[in-house]
């Protein structure tokens, strides 16, 4: 069963059973950033603590840091963003995903917002 | 500074109505983008973009031409009525206080346009140095619009055919939709286009008239920056400031030949020596070899040693690559020189390139 949680910094994290969690930014965040021209992704195999700077999104205008939504180890990154960073704007929730994390402590997920709470957060 | 309330241009309500995302810039609330920086950038390169640059400082200077000439690098005796020049306002050490446009749209003295962030200091300096020889009249009652792009000429032709006859770096005074306007054929994008000075109360009506033309779209400050960067044009306070001479800033061409001969501009001794011997550092353009943009403040390295700093940088939509400008030692300023830009601790390969990165397409008749 999959579930998607959200952070106050406009990231989504989707878990499917015990598998790795997929992380990206929300369409709202992509819209705010404008045209994404580069995403600096973390190294596969590296571990991060919740709140660590884990990636950087560069739009035409500025660079924005992305923080690890939960603690965990990076097991895969979306290499397609290297040639097509615009996927973040076109499909932030799908093809524009950033990386997959092996979640260290599943209870950290519970502290994040569900979709209804996130909607309230951006409204 | 930060506690000062932000100022608004006469087009503020129009920007909001058009969906502009308003941000503070040089003390004003200005639109950074409308539909998106990339789309606006591309539209300006293909059609015509309308920019509100009313935050810039406009003034008339009357009296002895020599009073103004003494502070800048242009030869004003070469400035015929109906023409315009790009020039530099220098401090006594030859440092750049501002870059500005000076024109003679009519017979009533000079019309100058200076940067928003420096206008207070510029005008105070000019008044101080003019004494009784010349008078500076600030035109706070005027807005300034820029219409830029390959279709700007055709758009102007429909509204003010006389102004459409100007060629690059010409200027004149016209009646446009009943308004008394100063128009110059110039801009800050590398494209053909116009800058139009309009009485405040008529600015919104003329902006709407221009936007009624389906070739014209509103453009924000974001695309203004990416366009000027591709055109190799300096942003004052970033790519040059009071610690930079015209020679270091690679703006030697803006120091008139006749002024070099008479050596009567501020800091002439230092600047003429730099023209003779070369400056130790130069402003250059660079292009990154991969996709990560290097922005203002990124260190420039050569063979693993930091040799300079980027003063502007970002993704260039028309060039399709991250580009920038910065200062490097003169011996590394040659196009083709391999350098690295340090972005978040990583050395990213780049090379020095000739500017402009995107060729200018001015209308020269």
State how far residue B3 is from chain A, nearest Cα, in angstroms.
25
Answer yes or no: do B160 and B296 share one domain.
no
Residue B129: its H or E element: helix B119-130
**Where residue B3 falls among pLDDT bands split at 50, 70, 90?**
low
A75 touches chain B (CB under 8 A): no
* Cβ partners under 8 Å of residue B15, min gap 6: B22, B30, B31, B52, B218
**Contact yes or no for B97/B168 (Cβ under 8 A):** no
Distance CA B103, CA B96 (A): 20
Closest listed residue to residue A88, CA positions, set A41, A42, A43, A24: A24
**Where residue B4 falls among pLDDT bands split at 50, 70, 90?**
confident
State how far residue A18 is from chain B, nearest Cα, in angstroms.
34
Q: Give the pLDDT confidence of B154-191 residue by residue, as tens digits.
A: 999 999 999 999 999 999 999 999 999 999 999 999 99
Query: What ipTM was predicted for this assembly?
Result: 0.86
State how far residue B68 is from chain A, nearest Cα, in angstroms.
37
In a domain, B183, yes or no: yes
**Where residue A85 falls among pLDDT bands split at 50, 70, 90?**
very high
Partner-chain contact B38 A34, CB within 8 Å: yes
B36 touches chain A (CB under 8 A): yes
Q: Give the pLDDT confidence of B124-135 residue by residue, as tens digits.
A: 999 999 999 999
Q: List, as one string, the DSSP characters of B10-70.
A: TTHHHHHHTT-EEEEETTEEEEEESS-HHHHHHHHHHSEEEEE-TTSEEEEEEE-HHHHHT
Least CA distance to B291: which residue of chain A?
A38
* Backbone torsions φ then ψ of B220, nearest 5 degrees: -95, 180
Residue A1: per-residue pLDDT: 73
Q: Which A positions 48-67 lie with beta carbon below 8 A of chain B?
A: 56, 58-63
Q: Where are the strands (E) in B160-261, listed by range?
A: 171-176, 179-184, 193-199, 216-218
Residue B2: per-residue pLDDT: 55
CB contacts of A82 in chain B (<8 Å) are 291
Answer yes or no: is pLDDT of A28 > 80.
Answer: yes
Best B228, B296, B314, B324 member to test A by mutation, with max A CBs in 10 Å, is B314
A34 touches chain B (CB under 8 A): yes
Candidates B33, B38, B293; nearest CB to A38: B293
Answer yes or no: do B224 and B320 share one domain.
no
B57 touches chain A (CB under 8 A): no
Residue B227: per-residue pLDDT: 98
Closest listed residue to residue A19, CA positions, set A43, A2, A41, A4: A2
Partner-chain contact B291 A38, CB within 8 Å: yes
Distance CA B146, CA B111 (A): 16
Closest listed residue to residue B117, CA positions, set B203, B219, B221: B221
Structural domain count of chain B: 2
Supply angle C-alpha A66, A67, A70, rounded to 5: 140
State how far residue B16 is from chain A, nearest Cα, in angstroms.
16
Answer yes or no: is pLDDT of A69 > 60.
Answer: yes
Q: What is the DSSP letter of B64?
A: -
> Under CATH, which architecture does the A2-105 domain have?
Beta Barrel (2.40)
In a domain, B195, yes or no: yes
Residue B144: per-residue pLDDT: 98
Q: What is the CATH number of the domain that holds B347?
A: 2.40.30.110
**Mean pLDDT computed over every residue of chain B:** 97
Answer yes or no: is pLDDT of B1 > 90.
Answer: no
Q: B154 lies in which domain range?
A: 12-55+141-230
Q: Which B positions 209-228 lie with beta carbon below 8 A of chain A?
A: 222, 226
Q: What is the CATH number of the domain that holds B201?
A: 3.30.1360.120
Answer yes or no: do B157 and B43 share one domain.
yes
Residue B72: per-residue pLDDT: 98
CA-based Rg of chain A, rounded to a whole angstrom?
13
* Backbone torsions φ then ψ of B170, nearest 5 degrees: -105, 160
In a domain, B29, yes or no: yes
Q: Give the pLDDT confidence of B292-307 residue by residue, as tens digits.
A: 999 999 999 999 999 9
- What tokens does B72 get? 């800048």
CB contacts of B36 in chain A (<8 Å) are 34-35
Residue B182: per-residue pLDDT: 98
What's the mean pLDDT in A12-30? 95
What's the mean pLDDT in B275-284? 97
Annotated binding site of B for substrate: 195
Count CB pairs under 8 A between chains A and B: 42
Share of residues in chain B with pLDDT > 90 (%): 98
Distance CA A72, CA A107 (A): 12
Partner-chain contact A63 B293, CB within 8 Å: yes
Residue A18: per-residue pLDDT: 86
Residue B10: its H or E element: none
Answer yes or no: is pLDDT of A118 > 70.
Answer: yes
Partner-chain contact B37 A61, CB within 8 Å: yes
A35 touches chain B (CB under 8 A): yes
In a domain, B284, yes or no: yes
What's the mean pLDDT in B300-326? 97
Q: Is the dihedral of CA B61, B62, B63, B64 positive or negative?
A: positive
Least CA distance to A33: which residue of chain B?
B36
- What tokens does B288 get? 């990154």
Partner-chain contact A60 B314, CB within 8 Å: yes
């Amino acid at each position: 069963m999959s579930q998607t949680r959200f952070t106050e910094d406009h990231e989504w994290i989707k878990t499917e059973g015990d598998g790795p969690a997929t992380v990206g930014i929300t369409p709202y965040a992509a819209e705010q950033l404008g045209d994404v021209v580069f995403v600096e992704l973390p190294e596969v195999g590296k571990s991060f603590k919740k709140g660590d700077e884990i990636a950087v999104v560069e739009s035409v205008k500025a660079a924005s840091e992305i923080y690890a939504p939960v603690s965990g180890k990076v097991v895969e990154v979306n290499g397609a963003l290297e040639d097509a960073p615009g996927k973040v704007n076109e499909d932030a929730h799908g093809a524009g995903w950033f990386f997959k994390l092996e979640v260290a402590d599943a209870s950290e997920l519970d502290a994040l917002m569900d979709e209804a709470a996130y909607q309230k957060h951006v409204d | 500074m930060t506690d000062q309330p932000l100022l608004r241009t006469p087009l503020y309500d129009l920007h909001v109505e058009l969906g502009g995302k308003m941000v503070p810039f040089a003390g004003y609330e200005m639109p950074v983008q409308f539909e998106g920086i990339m789309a606006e950038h591309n539209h300006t390169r293909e059609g015509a973009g309308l920019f509100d640059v009313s935050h810039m400082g406009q003034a008339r200077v009357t009296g002895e031409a020599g009073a103004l000439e003494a502070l800048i690098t242009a030869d004003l005796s070469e400035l015929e009525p109906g023409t315009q020049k790009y020039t530099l306002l220098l401090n006594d050490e030859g440092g750049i206080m501002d870059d500005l446009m000076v024109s003679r749209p009519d017979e009533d003295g000079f019309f100058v346009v200076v940067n928003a962030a420096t206008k207070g200091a510029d005008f105070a300096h000019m008044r101080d140095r003019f004494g009784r020889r010349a008078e500076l009249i600030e035109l706070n009652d005027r807005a300034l619009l820029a219409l830029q792009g390959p279709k700007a000429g055709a758009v102007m032709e429909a509204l003010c055919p006389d102004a459409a006859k100007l060629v690059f770096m010409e200027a004149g005074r016209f009646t446009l939709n009943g308004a008394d306007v100063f128009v110059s054929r110039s801009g800050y994008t590398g494209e053909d286009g116009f800058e139009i000075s309009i009485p405040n109360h008529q600015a919104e009506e003329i902006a709407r008239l221009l936007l009624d033309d389906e070739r014209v779209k509103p453009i924000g400050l974001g695309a203004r920056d990416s366009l000027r960067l591709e055109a190799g044009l300096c942003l004052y306070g970033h790519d040059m400031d009071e610690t930079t001479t015209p020679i270091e800033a690679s703006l030697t061409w803006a120091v008139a030949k006749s002024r070099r001969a008479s050596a009567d501009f501020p800091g002439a001794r230092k600047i003429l020596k730099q023209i003779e011997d070369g400056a130790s550092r130069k402003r250059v353009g660079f292009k990154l070899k991969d996709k990560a943009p290097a922005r203002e403040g990124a260190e420039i390295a050569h063979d693993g040693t930091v040799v300079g700093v980027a003063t502007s940088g970002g993704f260039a939509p028309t060039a399709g690559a991250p580009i920038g400008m910065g200062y490097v030692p003169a011996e590394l300023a040659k196009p083709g020189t391999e350098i690295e830009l340090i972005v978040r601790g990583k050395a990213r390969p780049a090379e020095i390139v000739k500017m402009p990165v995107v060729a200018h397409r001015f209308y020269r008749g």
